[in-house]
Amino acid sequence: MTFTAVNPASGETLGEVPEWDERLLDAALSEVAAATPGWAALPVVQRCEQLRVVAQVLRDNLEEYARLITQEMGKLIRESRAEIEKCAHACDYYAEHGPAFLHDEEIASDAGLSYVAYLPLGTVLAVMPWNFPFWQVFRFAAPGLVAGNTAVLKHASNVPKCALAIEDVFRKAGFPQGVFRTLMIRASQVKKAIEDPRVHAVTLTGSEPAGRSVAAVAGASLKKTVLELGGSDAFIVLEDADLDLTVQNAVAARFLNAGQSCIAAKRFIVVDAVAEDFVARFKAGVEALQPGDPMDENTTLAPMARADLRDDLHRQVQESIAAGAVATTGCEPIAGAGAFYQASILDSVGPGMRAYQEELFGPVAIVIRARDEADALRIANESSYGLGGSVWTRDAQRGERLARQVQSGCTFVNGMVKSDPRLPFGGVKSSGYGRELSHHGMHEFVNAKTIWIK
């Protein structure tokens, strides 16, 4: 059995990578277990120095890694370059701030000295998706490795070359053998890996069903988990929004990475007073997007990552139209080679439609019209998801007040939702739990150990 890499822009097979059997999985976990005590014992400043080398390796090989991302999962080449640079930036960030984040925290008590020491848990298993094949990995690996944990990666099956390339990054950076390993295993083998006593914690970015499955297995094994699951982010447009700025960001927020992002804006909740104007401008911006070869610098709409994902998206769109949604533009697959789908807008989306209830993971924006601010907030919070969201208004104080009421892990006012190493990232409700990034993310996978000395 093999993992097959397919170029989603052309359908061309790029190569195959052998799948591991249980013997190879066991050998890899043994290697990581052997490396874990030594890595944890290294002073944090030395671990940080090693991470700086990782950042340099990423930058030195940026074009190679960017091309690999684009070839395997289809994103625009300039977006792939930005992804690699973002990974390098995260490594630099944790290399700089890791010692402070992990510094002992002295706390006054009845002891002569008492403090909290932030110590590594051991080996963290990461189950990662294909949509940001480098970034999703580095945003767990950079803080986790600085904290003294070792890491094993089970990557998505359609990006096997990216998965192996990431392991090679750490090898090129001179990391000790076994500190970071990629496991070439199927989803069906993840349960065995989680249950293995050589794995101490699990982080997953993926779908809600995958999150429930992983959490159940990890819970039965009493292992810490962090889950970043789906999202259906609200993009709330109030009547006093700067529509030029708002529409410009709306197009970018929805169609970056062909709309295949958990924190992409998905539900455009627009108050009636500006709905017609917003939709007209939004339509013009969406129709200006140019699908094509993602390696071409002039292309502005990438293919979806797989043809089956495009087919699933189209069924959601068709069934929503049948239930009363209005196809304002697009809403059809693009004929020919590759997994392309038209940049699309579904207007007048309402309860009972798949587009209203579900996450649409692709280049389709849905417009939900609200009576006023209170109605917009109600609609935003009706979703079972709670990852990100944004509010668009010329009144920053009004935006802040509303942002605090949106049920999500983050809400941006007059800005596109994004992840940033300086800020914690994660969701609530069916979007998961726990946090990545910032010191919050680093502390998810440490033992906050109390030391009490009389």
What is the pairing mode between strands 432-433 and 224-228? antiparallel
State the DSSP H helix or E strand holding residue 106, giving kind and residue range, or none if neither. Answer: strand 105-106
Q: Which of 72, 83, 167, 228 is catalytic?
A: 228
262 has catalytic annotation: yes
Q: Say if CB 364 and CB 264 are below 8 A apart.
A: no
**Cα dihedral 68/69/74/78 (nearest 10):** -100
DSSP 319-361: HHHHTT-EEEE--SBPPSSS--B--EEEES--TTSHHHHS---
Q: Which residue is associated with the tokens 């080449």?
A: 77
Q: Say if CB 329 and CB 341 are below 8 A apart.
A: no
Q: b/e for 435-444, b at 16 or more Cβ within 10 A?
A: bbbbbbbbbb
Q: Helices then strands (H, E): number in the chain?
A: 15, 20
Q: Say if CB 94 and CB 48 are below 8 A apart.
A: yes
Q: Which residue is associated with the tokens 């990545």?
A: 436
Q: b/e for 305-321, b at 16 or more Cβ within 10 A?
A: bbbebbeebbebbeebb
Q: Which of 48, 262, 331, 410 is catalytic?
A: 262
162 has catalytic annotation: no
> What's the CA gap between 392 and 49, in Å, rounded?
41
Q: Say if CB 247 and CB 285 are below 8 A apart.
A: yes
> What's the CA gap between 136 and 322, in Å, rounded?
36
Q: In a 10 Å sphere around its CB, with 0-12 CB exposed, 13-18 middle and 19+ buried, how is residue 249 labelled?
A: buried
| Residues classed as catalytic | 228, 262
